[in-house]
Amino acid sequence: MVAFSVLDLAPIPEGSSAGQALANAADLASLADILGYHRYWMAEHHNMPGIASAATAVALAHAANRTETIRIGAGGVMLPNHAPYLIAEQFGTLAALYPGRVDLGIGRAPGSDQVAARAMRRNLAGDDNFPQDVVELMSYFQEPIAGQRLQAVPGAGNEVEFWILGSSTYGAQLAAALGLPYAFASHFAPTYLDDALAVYRSTFRAVNKWEKPRVMIGVNVYAAETDQDARLLFSSHQQAFLNLRRGRPGKLPLPIADLDHHLDPMARAMLADSLAFACVGSPATVRQTLDAILRRTQADEVIVTAQIHDHDARKRSFTLLADIVREMGGLRSAAAANAG
């Protein structure tokens, strides 16, 4: 059975605020819990006027407070920005608040530009300590031993599910070597997906609690009653993506009808390449596209994101998807029954 989860970037639409975006995030987390999605994740980004989840652990606590059973976590925390010990304390605190439900997805990218990286006062010399930092971070969640001088409190002895995030074979190799599940960022960087999954699956070592490899893929899903309505919703994300790539990040734009007619060939090619893993349309269209993606990747889990300007339309998109996924057997049965 393929599990389905939610990745919420807490988008800040044009005309709105970060406070409203975080209120919307809590509302979406509650809906995802009721609908039976497996996880609710937020992601660390900095210096992005259109994303409100920079302080990821704080935002997660706010959203998780509206949930009962869904797993909550980061997808992910960008570890080069932080001392592993501090992340252990933050997610150890979440694990103490929401025991048995906390995930920690760890990424190597900065989630920001160089200006923000300098502002975070991290060493920008380029040394790659990511593997060592991951191992150090994981160690803080182990049961303390007699005489241990440094402990993460909360953290030590708490159960947190670790994931490695990536968009290349680098993260795939590390996840396989550490025996951890692997989440690929195919929702915005699908180029190396097939290579990364092949490397991960062929080199996986069962050295942790996982006996076999587990793959999660990111997919953009924009569902509405008609294909035309869904394409309109998707246009906000497409505009925001182009603005970011052109060095002009901003709030999530209003949707534009027939956006393709306003784009030059280079912009169309950029969107086609980077947002290829998108299911946009009516429920029938989304189901068809999703089936093709699952056949290609054989993923164990799909994490869905949707940058939709109108919050009610975003909730409707996730609700329509839940109907599709329920037919596929990919939602938590108890919560799904409550939703019905």
Amino acid (1-letter code) at residue 156 = A
Predicted pLDDT at 335: 42
Instruction: Report long-range pairs for 82-88 (Cβ below 8 Å, ≥24 apart).
Output: 84/133, 84/134, 84/136, 84/137, 84/140, 85/136, 85/140, 85/150, 85/152, 87/137, 88/137, 88/140, 88/141, 88/152, 88/155
Predicted pLDDT at 334: 41
Q: Spell out the alpha helix ranges (H) of 76-226.
A: 84-97, 114-119, 130-139, 169-178, 193-203
**Alpha-carbon Rg of the chain, whole angstroms?**
19
pLDDT tens-digit map of 120-154 = 665 555 557 899 999 999 999 999 988 889 999 99
Grouping H, G, I as helix, E, B as strand and the rest as coil, residue 103 is: strand
Output the domain CATH number for residue 256.
Answer: 3.20.20.30
Strands (DSSP E) found in the chain: 3-8, 39-42, 71-78, 102-107, 161-166, 182-184, 215-223, 278-281, 301-305
- Top-confidence residue, 215 or 111: 215
pLDDT tens-digit map of 16-58 = 999 999 999 999 999 999 999 999 999 999 999 999 999 999 9
Tokens representing residue 295 in the block: 């056949």
Which of 34-48, 112-126, 236-250, 323-337 bottoms out in mean pLDDT, i.e. has the lowest?
112-126
- Top-confidence residue, 96 or 148: 96
Contact 213, 182 (CB under 8 A): yes
Contact 140, 156 (CB under 8 A): yes
Q: Which domain holds residue 156?
A: 3-339
pLDDT tens-digit map of 206-228 = 998 999 999 999 999 999 999 99
Domain count of the fold of the chain:
1
Contact 32, 318 (CB under 8 A): yes
The residues with which 139 forms a beta bridge, in sequence order, are: none
